A and B are shown apart, each in its own frame.
Chain A
């Protein structure tokens, strides 16, 4: 799938330019007016080489930009690719419905599971609805309700993380944003069903972790996971949000960094050029990873799953003890 140029990142442009030329030549060839097959082959080779060059050595800031790419597959795209029989469930049963987290039951390889994730929008109208993927307390409370239901019915939980963070607004504070997140962290730690959390785009701080306490935590190759956004970090520490690239390096927030630090368990490979260049293949890759980890977790009892998750997070932290 070619990226729509309106969403293109700066470092993608040379490649998209080349691909546009190839498309033009192909159109010309199709019209039969000229024999340009050799030229097309040459340019395609060049495009592959260029793609390889650009994407083999991305900076952390470039990965950050890819993780937020407007054409990147979002949670509901993955639901379409990987699940059947999806039934969305809404509302927190006490205040409202928050569409920035979507959840429901569906089938994965025929097996009923709870799927749930942050949902961003691709245009202004969608983003108004989804609040740019920034949940309010109702979103987290709905998430909790659905996860407890999944445990009640013995269904595995697959969560998909993709948020800039929990929404910092007046209403969100009045209704207990911090409490809603805290309760999810506690509840997730003791659920007796398998939980796999995958960071598919942006893993923004506590708002991400609030649906991210899994037995396994996976990251898509070009996703990020961080305690604070690079811009936020830069504006606090360097008093200059434009130094976000430097902050991204300091925070070490890419999938590769986090695997090395043993914060995540596995990296899901994306198609060359990023998930947005070929969403069905990205989904296929994610599906394979979920299948493998779910099969492993389903050999564990409820007690073992709770202990496994507890031990996993208990071990995280770096300090010395005399």
Chain B
């Protein structure tokens, strides 16, 4: 219990994320749908929450734009802004991990692959976290694990609901065993959070795999997925190499998981805010 009485020092940024910040990073006036190859006017796409206006395919939706759209206006408050990754192993692959972190940070303006905040959804307080998939494939190292843990600690202290939006390839190899241990740390934080009897809603986005799927993401009281998201433990390539056969169409997609009883619901992005509010009303 000792560490709970110690309030973590929390840095906050009062400004809400602006859609403009995001779009300035997405170059060009036109975008192409990955699914139907249709060329779409980018402003139309953004107005449609990055869902293809032709075929309904859910494209990546950057974390800050997502939260701006889902939280009540003016309630977004970011936390844990001072957290920065280290290089505990002195890891080098084709590049030094330190340099990779530095260049990714420079390109994205984010310190690591996760954003933690509090806010409200239709007036109900929520402690929220979201992966920033663009940051090294949303891989989970110590900073991500710590922020996820704090999302649940904050929800525990404030006795409010917790929501995590997952989009991650899994553990961050460059942080070795420390990244593996984040699975245990975050899952333990959820075990403790259950005591306050407030809902944890896990929203699985494309893709959610590996150590992230096999820890806090699959521990939601309610688990929602976006349409056609790839969700599973092992990546399709690893499975194909192991069993030496092609995987069936639609394997490990949201619809497949729903059919196998592994998630509660598939929710279209345009309905997400309303569905979250409904659940918070029923369980919160």
Contact = CB atoms under 8 A, between A and B. Distances in A.
A85 interface: no
A227 B140 CA distance: 11
Contact of A316 (B185, B191, B211, B214): B185
A237 B176 CA distance: 13
B120 to A, nearest CB: 26
Nearest to A172: B233
A227 B211 contact: yes
A321 B84 contact: yes
B216 A182 contact: yes
Nearest to B181: A316
The B interface is mostly helix, strand or loop, or mixed, namely helix
B7 to A, nearest CB: 13
Interface string B208-220: 0111011111110
Interface residues of B, number: 63
**Most B Cβ at <10 Å: residue of A187, A228, A258:** A228
Contacts of B176: 226-227, 250-253
Given A173-B233, A182-B217, A185-B215, A319 B84 contact: yes
> Which of B2, B145, B180 gathers the greatest number of chain A CB atoms within 10 Å?
B180
Interface stretch (A69-77, A112-120, A162-170): A162-170
Contacts of B86: 318-320
Given A183-B219, A213-B184, A253-B176, A177 B233 contact: yes
A139 to B, nearest CB: 13
Interface string B238-257: 11001100011001100000
B168 to A, nearest CB: 12
Contacts of A36: none
A261 interface: yes
Nearest to B235: A168
Given A178-B214, A178-B218, A250-B92, A310 B234 contact: no
Interface residues of A, number: 55
Interface string B72-89: 000000000011111011
B260 interface: yes
A173 B251 contact: yes
Given A166-B233, A172-B233, A250-B92, A313 B185 contact: yes
Contact of B181 (A167, A169, A313): A313
B85 A319 contact: yes
A253 B178 CA distance: 11
Contacts of A17: none
A103 to B, nearest CB: 20
Interface of A: 166-170, 172-179, 181-183, 185-187, 189-190, 205-206, 209-210, 212-213, 225-228, 233, 236-238, 250-253, 258, 261, 263, 307, 309-311, 313-314, 316-322
10 contacts: A178-B218, A182-B215, A189-B191, A206-B180, A237-B93, A261-B177, A263-B177, A314-B3, A314-B188, A316-B181
Given A317-B178, A317-B181, 13 more contacts: A166-B214, A167-B242, A176-B262, A178-B218, A181-B215, A190-B192, A213-B188, A225-B177, A227-B179, A233-B173, A250-B91, A311-B2, A321-B9
